[in-house]
Every structure is written in structure tokens, then in C-alpha cells.
Structure 1
Amino acid sequence: MPRLHPPEFPVALKSDRSGAAEYEVWEALADELPDEYVVFHRVQWLDRPDDGPPRDGECDLLIAHPARGMLVVEVKGGRIAVDPATGAWRSVDRHGKAHVIDNPFAQANESKHVLRRKLASIPWWRGRPVPIGHAVALPHCAKGGSSIADASLDVTLDAADLTRARASVERVFDFWRLAPDDHWRHNGIAALERLFVHHDFARVPLGVQMRQQEPEFLRLTREQAGVLDVLRQHRRAAISGCAGSGKTMLAVEKARRLAGEGFRVLVTCFNRALADFIRAQLPPPQQARARAGVAAGRGQLDLFGGARVDVESFHALAAAWARRAGVPLPEAHDEEERRRLFDDVLPEALVRAAGELPERYDAVIVDEGQDFKEEWWVALQTLLRDPDHGILYVFYDDNQSLYTGGAALPIQTPPFVLTRNCRNTREIHRWVGRFYRGGAEPEPAGPQGRPPVALRYADERGLREHVRRTLHQLVAEEKVPERDLVVLTPHGRARSALWRDPVFGNLRLTDAWPPAPNHVQWSTVHAFKGLERPVVVLAEVERGGWSRAELLYVGGSRAQSHLVVIEREDAAG
């Protein structure tokens, strides 16, 4: 994707009439143009003509390419029309209101000539040709319409052109035949960035950017909740979506709504940490309370204490029901016994316990359903008052189903597919999207964000040095709070080189949540599935264990705003 200045489109402009049109064009360019392009937004200029007072102005967008030159782009939103008799231009907005506007082609041409003079006056550029052309973007018009029949179609980008922005921009460059010289090819982009990028503001600390992005993520998540309105009449639904599509927050919202209607609800998932997170999202009156006098494990719930919503991981749920019903559970002494306990014994114990106990749920909601095995679905449905027709919602990632070989879901109707990523920046979405092999290709909706950072190491010493420098930069220089950061690894405590010696400068890794001051959370990728943090450092990416594609997809998609991947040099081999 192109380098963007500024890296984020200003949020305040998205709701402005002219700014909204610029945002549409900006998004199209950001999605389509390759890495060698650079796009500047609202380049301001001050012209000092020889025959008059100084004039100031700006061009909406400036597109630059080392081998093609520059394009000044003037953007006009709405339905554009021109009166051939008077030459008057107007824009009609979505409410049908007409606005008088300047001739966009004249504006683009003026900005082009002003920038050409300005650049030609710089000592570095003096005496050299300035490779610059102009274009007009009309994102709500069609060139075949009479409204722009008198305009130069060769330099017009209409709504259809913006759906294939790369080819359309290249067409305009071809029209101008700018032929930049070698001096421009090697130095032109850097010169533009020195001239037009305000360096005092260009490098906003990541911690500040994250706070600026929060309202956008919140808005997108709220909009995604509209899916539940569509599914309101469905007693059973499978909801599929990529990582970042908001499945967990939809599961929480569905639980809230059902509880508000008086239903008794169970929310369950595979990971204990994800269950803890979901529980924390529900208001205290809807949470189940810890049972007094019961020597329970971490986060055990009073499953029958009158609460409207119970939240627990599947295996903790099965163990709690088994204890209550007096179903004996064996101890697991090795990995094989532990695997059998989780895969077979606990699900069977849950079925037996359900046969002994009268309590039932009106609704069961499952998050990260791709991790569930066939026997688990049978056990879960025994907890419903109506096992065949009770309310059952399953949220799952069809891409992770490919990796895990997840069992078929107990819902016969076609899944409802979430196609919009609302929890990751566009940069992270594109990076993770390389490893997506699911159904409908997801679309990015979040803020632009920074490109992920990839670091390579040859040995453990190099790994530790990368982690130390990365943590220092993020916390000390980028002002990222420790609690907004997590270090993920595919290895457990016994194999992780980071966990064996968890001290990195003045920071220490911890598996506790929330982390103490000067501590950064450490977790395995497996234990962190379904969760997210604003910043993720995905480290110890090596051969063996997880497939590389699965690891980078699952681990990388945990990052909301920024991702750093620290990978062994031979990992991709």
C-alpha cells in the first residue's frame, strides 16, 4: 500500500461534506496503490506572483511516484453539474441541496502551476523539470453522465474509476507523459516529504495514536451490533467472521439482550482467559457470583445462584457441574491423560451431571466455536431446557476452522457471515489477510494505523535483544501503557526462552493480569485466542509446532493498533 501523509485521515473531516468525499478517494487510493506510491492529503501552498499580492490555497491530494512524477488531485463530492451557457458549476448533496462550487479542473490546474513554480524555486530543483500533472476526482459521478460532459475525461476519476484506483491513476499518469529524470527518480519523493510533511506532528507517539483511534473502534463495534437486530427472530444461528470482526463483542451483546428479556443464559468458550474477559464485560447484576464455602478454582461460578448470565470456559463448566452432581473426575498425571480428560472425560461427565441435576438454560452462546469438538456440542445441548429448539448462538472463525479441523456445528442453517473487520487497523488487517483462507474475503473498516514491524533473529541472543529494544521503544518512547501491550509466543513456560529469563531492561514479563507497574503481560498464542490488545509483540516465531500461517494469523490478529513480529531467520523455510 502507499505511504500516507498524514498516516491517519483526520477523524473530524470524515463527517464534513468536502472531507467525506476526500476520505472516499483517500480510502480508494490507500486500498489500491502499491508501496512505491506516496499520497499527501491537503497540501497547502502560498504563491507570491510577480504581479500581485500573495495568495494561499491547497490541493486536496497529491499523488507521487518515483518513476511517474506527481498528480495534483482536486476532489468534489455530490452530483456535479455545469451550466454550459454560464460556465457555473454546482454540487448537489445527498439531501438534494445545490451548492455553487469553483471549477474543479481550473482549481486543479492552478494548484499544479503554483506547485510547479514553488518546487522549481527550490535550490535542489532549480533548473530541472518538475514532473507534475493534475486530475479531478468525482466519487459520486459517472463520466458518461451529462453533468461532466464538458470536462476533460482523460484526467477525471469517477466512481467507477475509484473501484480500480491503481489502473485509473496510471491512466492519468500515462496521459500526462511526465517522464521524470533520474534526479527525481532518486530524490524526488524525499524532497516532497521534507517540503510538505510537518515533522513536528508527523511522528505522533503510538500511545497517543491509540487514544485517537479508540472512538473509531468503538463506533465500528456499535455498528456491528446491528447484526443482532437482523438475527433477532432466529433461535439458532452460526455467525462466522474473520479475526477482528467483533464476534466476541457480539456474543457479549447477545447475552445482555437475552438476559434483559428474562432468559437464563450460558456463555462459554474454550479459553479460560477469554471467559474471564467476557465475564468482565457484563454488568455485575448479570454475572454469576462465586459460591461461598466452595473450594473452587479460579473464576468458578455459582451456576445456579439466580444470576441471569453464567460465563465459564467449557472445561471449567463441565468440572463445576460434575462436582455439583457428584460425578467423579480422575486426576491427569501426564500429557496423554490430560488430553483424554479434556477431550473425552469432562464432556462425558457434563452429560452425566446434566442427567442428575434439574437446572437448565434458556440459551447457550458459544464464542470461538471452531475450537469445539463434536462431543462437546452434544454435552452443551443437554444443558438447554429444549435441547433441540433452545436458543443456541455459535460465533466462530471459518479460517481457524481450516487450521484446527473443527467439528461440524450443530446448526443446520447457513452461517451468517461477518465481512467487515472492525477491531484492527487497516494495516494489520492487510498483513494478517495474507494468511486468510476462509470464505467471504473480509473488508477493513478501522483506522489506517501503522504498518506492522518485522524483525529477524539468528539465535537466542538476537531474539532477546530485539524484545528488549522493542519493549523499551514502545513503553519509553512511544508512550504505550504496559497494560495495553502483550508479548505472545507459541511456546509454553517450559520452552519459551523469554519466560526462562523474563527481565528486559527495566521491564519484566508476567503472566498475571492486570500487570504490575513496569511489568508487561506474557502469554502463549493458544491461551490468548479470542482476546486482543492495542499492541502485540509476537515473538519466537520458529519452525515446529504451529504452522507458520496459522501462528501469524491467530497471533498477529490479536493486535488492534500495532503489531511487531520477531521471527527466526529460517522460520519461513
Structure 2
Amino acid sequence: MAQIFPADAVGQNESEQEALDDLRQQLDDTFRVYVNTAFLTSAGDHEGEIDFLVLHPELGMLAIEVKGHGVERGADGHWTRLEGGKPRRLKKDPFKQVFEHTRAISAEMGSRLSRAGVPVASRKNPVPWDTLVYCPFTERPEGPRPLSLAEGHLLDRRHRAELGERVRAIMAANLERLGRTVAPTVVEQLHDRVLMARFRLAPSLAAVMDREAGQTVRLDERQGMVLDSLAENDRFAVVGGAGTGKTILALEAARRLAARTGGRVLYACFNKMLARHAARSFEDAPPPTGEVRARHFHALCQDAASRSGRTAAFQCALERAAAAGPEHERDFWDNRAIEFLFEAIAGGHVAGFDALVFDEAQDMRPHWWTELEALGAHGADTPLLVFFDPDQAIFGHEAAIPPDLFRFRLLENHRNPRALARWVCALTEQPLQPHPGAPAGDEPQLHPWVDRPTTLRILSETVAEMRAEGVDPTRMAILAPHTLRNPASTLHGIPEVAGLPLTTDPAAGDGKLLYATITRFKGLERDVVFLLDIDPEDPLCARRHRYVGASRARRRLHAFCRGPFLPERTDD
């Protein structure tokens, strides 16, 4: 039986239904029959509908026009057809019309295939074609045929039992007459890219995520209370889970403190990427008066060494530690670098700040706080705001915040749609819940580990789908426990994904796709995050690391995991 498209198609009238049944039964499954194919050329100069298009990988294409109760050309040269026993005048010679329709749709097919990069022998005729008029309820009278009708191209009720055989014969004779062959690959492309090309008129993923962003509640009443409290109490700590708006509040608080004091405010964090993001934020939206300086901890120590004339000593100590190995380098930043800051403060080489704001403060080591608070120009009267999440302490120590600070807790995730927020909340032991006013969103996608080629294929296909849905590469990020230089990374030695070059610079544009480790991307976020190489048995993929990684996604999350991603919950 022939393949019918659409599979459940029915004829628009009795004669078309008879023709459809005959074609379905009498042609084998190498034939494809497209029912009532409407078309409009790209130039807009020709439109119409062909009752049946028959396509075959070796015989080409045949357009069939069905006339139920016959047609007639009168002595005056006008064509009519019978409807309800009454003649109805036709605008055109029906035989000429089907020829013109077929010629126009063939040229449109060739044009579309060429634009899609499919090589065709002739742009106007990508596959050989011919036409047929079929009248299942009438008989052709004796006498001369119209000049517009080729011999053997009008079949009537006497040919019903042999319609399939006649269709094959007409298509084969046309090939012989033209001296052409059919390229089966072109026929397949014609089916996939033109006749049955997928078409979906629906919001793109990019549009859906934009709409969700508009629905996301950025500041609620409780967050507003944090900012309002600056007028009465400017020394306190804000504790909250991922997505509760801590960084948004920290940036705005720094601006308000600068405007209120008219002086210099320090916004400090541990993460270099977050510090660069904050610096750009203050450049784009500076306070009306005063100044906010955004620095990460390493830069604070290096600046202090420079101001006290100890740059050479700082660099020498760092190089010796790095040469001794990663543990010694980590010990330098944990213990030795802060001494350069202390020496610079004690020597009066560092000008104090009128207010201090520390973001992602759980990353600060407990013994740093004496020197960090000493950066205030007014001692214990210096406004001090600390923002932290104990469950994001992933550098080998627990969060230790100055104990004398009043603590204000944020409880609701504002960043994520509810479906994604539920995952984030399940990964933390801190009180956290989705915001009830957030959009529903899509469930995060978990891709179980199979092997490296499979992971690469799924990742590439998913990124390509995102691009097809209008999602710009700058809205996506791949986060993993290992750097690209590490052979343990699935993307080690691979320069691009889905045709997008990989970059480790979050500020890079130009169609590049960001790759970063989970630890380096702390405090930042992207609309779409791909968590790669997640292995719960790896210390770099422990629950807190998965919590940090998953919470970097604003709208969509794809996790490639070797085991269970969410922790098992036990009821006490």
C-alpha cells in the first residue's frame, strides 16, 4: 500500500475519496501520495492546490487532478464542470491549469532545496514531473482531445482497476522522454525539507524564558525590609539560600551606602568572576554620589602589597608556593596573603572605606575578619553588611561570620521558576522554598551517564536545539567540576560544541559558549546551565557543589550525572 500524507487524510469530495482509495490500494509502499497540497510561491506570483502529488525515489513526481463528474468545453471555447446537475463555468482550461500548477510548485521546490544547500540537477525541475487528470465517475467521449491534454493523460472510470499500473507507466514514460534519472536523495530531501517539513508556530524557548524573567519577582516585601533597615541599623548579616536575591541586595546596598555617606564603599567577595560582574554593574549604574569599589579578596591583598611597596615580596612568596604544589599555593592564599593586607593597614598604606559590603561571605576564612573589618575608616562605627549562604561554603571550611552582627534571613528563591527551584531547595539544608509567585517553568533534565561519545552527542544536540529556539550562546553556560585542561573533563581537547567555540571568559561574546568550573562561577548565573561530569562520588561534586552548580541556572537546567543527582531525603 502507498504511503499517504497526512496518514489520516480524506478526500474533499466523493470523487477525491475514490481516487485516494484507488491510489492507496494499487500503489506499493515505495510511492508517497500527498493529499491536497496547497502552495504559494516565494515570489507570491502563483498559488494553488494539487489534489494528489505522487512521489517515487526512482520515477519522480506526478501531479493528479481529480474531476468528479467531468468537464466540458462548449462551442464558445469556455470550460464548465457539472455541480449538482448544473454547469459551472471554470476560469481556466483544467488540463492547462494542472500543468501550470505543477510547473510552479516544481520550481518552488527546487528553489527551497537550493536555499537549503541541497544539490539539484535543475532548480526549476529538481525531479522529473508529469501530470494526470483522473475522472473516476465519467467516461471520455469519442472524438479529438483538447490540445492542452497529452495523449494517455486522461483516465476515467474504465481505468479504475488499473490506476496504479497507469500511474507507474506514465511516470516511467516521462523519464524515458526526458532522458533523465531520479536522484533518490533529492526525493528524500524534498519530502523532509519541503513537502513534510516540520513547522511549529509557537513561542520559542528564548521567548518563553524572557516571559518567565518578566514574571520573576526580584524584590519582595522581606527583601525590601533589608534595604529599608539601612536607615536604622547598618551593621548586620543577611543569610539566605541560592536565588534569594543576596547579590542583588548587596549591590543595591553598596550604592545606597555610597549615596548616603558620599564617600568610598568597598564591595568585596572571594570570587574573581563575581567581582568583575559587580564592577560592571557599578559602572553601568553608579551611585548618585560617592564611589563603590568592587574587589575580590586576592586583589585586595595584592593591592595592599603594592601600596606598601611589597609587590616583589608578595610575588616571590606566591611563586615559591605555586612551585611547591597546589596545597602550598592554597596555603599562601589562605594564610600568607592576608598578612600583606594586615601590614599595609598597620603601616597606614591603605585608605579606609566609609562602608564595607561583603558578598558570598561564607568563602571568607574565619581568621580574615579582623583585617577585613580593619579596612573600615571609622572602626566599629563603619557600616558593615555581610551576605552569605552557609551551604555554599565549598572550599573546605564552614562559614564563620562576625558573631556580633544581627542576622536577617531570606527564605524564598526568587531566581528560578518553581520546577527548577524545587531541585535547588532539595539540595540545601538551609530553610528555602520556591517563591509562590514565580512562573512554573520546565522540569530540569537529568541525563544519566552512558559514555563520553554519548554525552558529547546529547550535549551538542541540546545546545543546537537551544540555538534553533533562539537562545543566544551568551545566555548559556557549561559548568563542570574540572577545568578544560584536566583530562577528566568530557570536553578536554574539544574546542567547540554544536559549532560554538568554547571560552572560559564570562564576558566573551561573538557566539562563544562559556565553560567554567562550578567553584569559579559561584555567585554568577545564566539562563541555561549544563552541569557536566557530575559524579556524586567525586568530592568536587558533593551535595554542596551540586547545589551551587544547579542554582546558577536561572531558567533551564540540564545535568549529566553518573548517579543520583538529588540527595535522598529521610523522614525523622
Please report the TM-score for the alignment, with normalisation by the length of structure 2: 0.58
Partner residue, 1:392: 384
Specify which of 322, 327, 342 is matched with residue 336 of structure 1. 327
Relative distance call for 1:565 and 1:547 in structure 2 (3 A) is closer
Q: Percent identity?
A: 32
Which of 486, 502, 512 is the matching residue for 2:477?
Answer: 486
1:520 aligned partner: 513
Distance 1:347 1:445, change over 3 A: farther
User: What corresponds to 1:273 in structure 2?
Assistant: 273
Is the partner of 1:563 in helix, strand or coil? strand
Pairwise CA RMSD: 2.6
Provide the residue aligned with 1:255 in structure 2.
254
Which residue type is aligned with residue 443 of structure 2?
P
Q: Deviations over 1:80-128 (max 9, x none)?
A: xxxxxxxxxxxxxxxxxxxxxxxxxxxxxxxxxxxxxxxxxxxxxxxxx
Verify: 1:498 aligned to 2:491, yes or no: yes
Work out the CA distance in 2 between the residues paired with 1:407 and 1:398.
5
2:523 corresponds, among 509, 525, 530, to 530
Aligned residue among 420, 424, 430 for 2:416 = 424
Sort the Cα spacing of 1:490 and 1:276 in 2 relative to 1 into closer, same or farther, 3 A.
same
Instruction: Report how far residue 549 of structure 1 moved.
Output: 1.6
Aligned to 1:556: 550
Partner Cα distance (1:231, 1:401) in 2: 26
Answer whether contact 1:506 1:518 (CA < 8 A) is retained: no
What is the match of residue 371 of structure 1? 363
| Secondary structure of the corresponding residue to residue 369 of structure 2 | helix
Deviation at 1:411, TM superposition (A): 3.9
| Aligned counterparts of 1:309 and 1:552: Cα–Cα separation in 2 | 32
- For each residue in 1:224-283, what CA deviation from the matched residue of structure 2 results, as whole angstroms up to 9, or x when unmatched? 344211343112111001100010010000011011121320000011000011111114
Seen in structure 2, the aligned counterparts of structure 1 residues 562 and 533 have a Cα distance that, compared at 3 Å, is: same
Q: Tell me if 1:318 matches 2:274.
A: no
Counterpart of 1:141 in structure 2 is: none
- SS of residue paired to 1:215: helix
One-letter identity of the residue aligned with 2:276: D
Please state how far the C-alpha of 1:220 moved relative to its aligned partner: 4.0
Matches within 5 A, 1:165-564: 204-217=203-216, 219-220=218-219, 224-261=223-260, 262-283=262-283, 286=286, 308-327=291-310, 328-329=313-314, 330=317, 331=319, 332-333=322-323, 334-356=325-347, 357=349, 359-401=351-393, 404-439=396-431, 443-476=435-468, 478-495=469-486, 496-542=489-535, 543-564=537-558
- How far off is 1:500 after superposition? 2.2
- Please tell me whether the aligned partners of residues 266 and 309 of structure 1 are also in contact (alpha carbons under 8 angstroms): yes
| Per-residue deviation, 1:416 | 0.2
> Once the 2 structures are TM-superposed, how far is the Cα of residue 216 of structure 1 from its aligned partner?
2.5
* 1:420 alignment partner AA: E
Could you tell me how far 1:546 is from its partner in structure 2? 2.1
Are the equivalent residues in 2 in contact too, given 1:398–1:439 (CA < 8 A)? no
Q: Which amino acid aligns with 1:563?
A: L
CA contact (8 A) 2:531 2:557 kept: yes
Q: How does 1:58-97 map to 2 (within 5 A)?
A: none
**Shift in Å, 1:414:** 4.0
The CA deviation at 1:394 is 0.5
- Asked if structure 1 preserves the Cα contact closer than 8 Å seen for 2:418 and 2:440, the reply is yes
**Structure 2 residue ranges without an equivalent (≥5):** 1-198, 568-572
Change (3 A) 1:481 1:539: same
Q: For 2:336 and 2:445, how far apart are their aligned partners in 1? A: 43
Matches of 1:444 and 1:377, distance apart in 2: 37
- 1:343 partner amino acid: D
Does the CA contact (< 8 Å) of 1:235 and 1:389 recur in 2?
no
Query: 1:23-70 deviations in whole A, cap 9, x for unaligned?
Result: xxxxxxxxxxxxxxxxxxxxxxxxxxxxxxxxxxxxxxxxxxxxxxxx
CA distance in 2 between partners of 1:520 and 1:222 (Å): 36
| Structure 1 residue 309 displacement after superposition | 1.1
C-alpha contact (below 8 Å) 1:275/1:311 kept by paired residues: yes
Contact 2:254 2:267 (8 Å CA) reproduced = yes
Q: Aligned with 2:491: secondary structure?
A: helix
User: In 1, Cα distance between the equivalents of 2:292 and 2:372?
Assistant: 15
- Where in structure 1 are there 5+ consecutive unaligned residues? 1-198, 288-305
User: Which digits, 9 at most, give the CA deviation of each residue in 1:171-218, with x for residues without a partner?
Assistant: xxxxxxxxxxxxxxxxxxxxxxxxxxxx967x5321011111232236
Determine if contact 2:218/2:415 at 8 Å carries over to the other structure. Answer: no
Deviation at 1:455, TM superposition (A): 0.6
1:475-508: CA deviation from partner (whole Å, max 9, x where unpaired): 12x2111111111101123322314213223122
Instruction: Count residues with an aligned counterpart.
Output: 355
Alpha-carbon contact 1:238-1:393 (below 8 Å) kept: yes
Distance 1:466 1:569, change over 3 A: farther
CA distance in 2, matches of 1:238, 1:572: 29
Question: Structure 1 CA distance, aligned partners of 2:399 and 2:363?
Answer: 8
Tell whether the 8 Å contact from 2:307 to 2:350 is kept in structure 1 after alignment: no
Equivalent position SS for 2:384: strand
Could you tell me how far apart the structure 1 residues matched to 2:244 and 2:566 are?
Answer: 27
CA distance in 1, matches of 2:522, 2:394: 15
Tell me, yes or no, if the aligned pair for 1:371 and 1:404 is still in contact at 8 Å: no
Distance 1:570 1:221, change over 3 A: closer
Supply the distance in 1 between the matched residues of 2:431 and 2:564 (Cα, whole angstroms). 30
User: What is the distance in 1 between the residues matched to 2:207 and 2:216?
Assistant: 15
CA separation of 1:278 and 1:285: change in aligned 2, threshold 3 A: closer
C-alpha change, 1:566 and 1:284, in structure 2 (3 Å) is closer
Distance 1:423 1:269, change over 3 A: same
Letter in 2 for 1:492: T
Q: Which deviates the most, 399-408 or 262-271?
A: 399-408
Structure 1 ranges of 4+ moved more than 6 A: 570-573
1:564 partner amino acid: H
Change (3 A) 1:551 1:424: same
Secondary structure at 2:237's aligned position in 1? strand
With 482-491 and 458-467 compared, the bigger mean Cα shift is at 458-467
**Cα drift, residue 401 of structure 1:** 4.2
Determine the C-alpha separation between the residues in 2 that align with 1:572 and 1:534.
Answer: 21
- Is the alpha carbon distance of 1:516 and 1:230 closer, same or farther for their aligned partners in structure 2, counting shifts above 3 Å? closer
Conserved 8 A contact 2:503-2:515: yes
